[in-house]
Amino acid sequence: MSADENFKSLGLELPPAPAPLGVYKPLLIDGKHCYVSGHGPILPDKSLIIGRVGRDMSMEEAKLAARQVGLAILATLKKNLGSFDKIKRVIKVLGMVNAIDSFEKHPYVINGCSELFAQVWGTENGIGVRSAVGMGSLPDNIPVEIEALFELA
């Protein structure tokens, strides 16, 4: 199945593609590369999931927030490219987790986004290299921010 068909089969709802909250582009194409700026966990009603992992939310809730960030990234791709089929593969994901100092499971949280991308583009093309790091804070107290780099088809 194509990436568009894979996404449709998941039965998920895309949130609105977020508008920039600063001086940057949400997406930039350079040759065969598509760079997507950091996205947060925006919901279909345009509200944000907020909270600090380990204080305001559990690791499982944070993983779901990371999945929601993945959906926001997909919304930006859909808005700007028109189809997930225009993406050949995921190259890199950088996940940032707003967590308490003693939290150590950042990769587990970011799996929420990585697993979504693997469902859309398959395990061969939907899994790229990745970093998952902890942050002392993130904008608007969101629990997760993720940026990604894709190769265009």
pLDDT surpassing 90 at residue 124: yes
pLDDT tens for each residue of 74-116: 999 999 999 999 999 999 999 999 999 999 999 999 999 999 9
pLDDT of 21 reads 83
Torsion angle defined by CA atoms of residues 138, 140, 142 and 145, in that order, rounded to the nearest 10 degrees = -50
- Which pTM value belongs to this model? 0.97
pLDDT tens for each residue of 127-136: 999 999 999 9
| Count of Cβ atoms closer than 10 Å to residue 4 Cβ | 15
Region label for 54, one of left (φ > 0), alpha (ψ between -120 and 50) or beta (otherwise): left
Contact 95, 106 (CB under 8 A): yes
- Which structural domains are found in the chain, ordered by start? 27-152 (3.30.1330.40)
Distance (Å, rounded) from C-alpha 126 to C-alpha 133? Answer: 20
Q: Which amino acid is at 5?
A: E
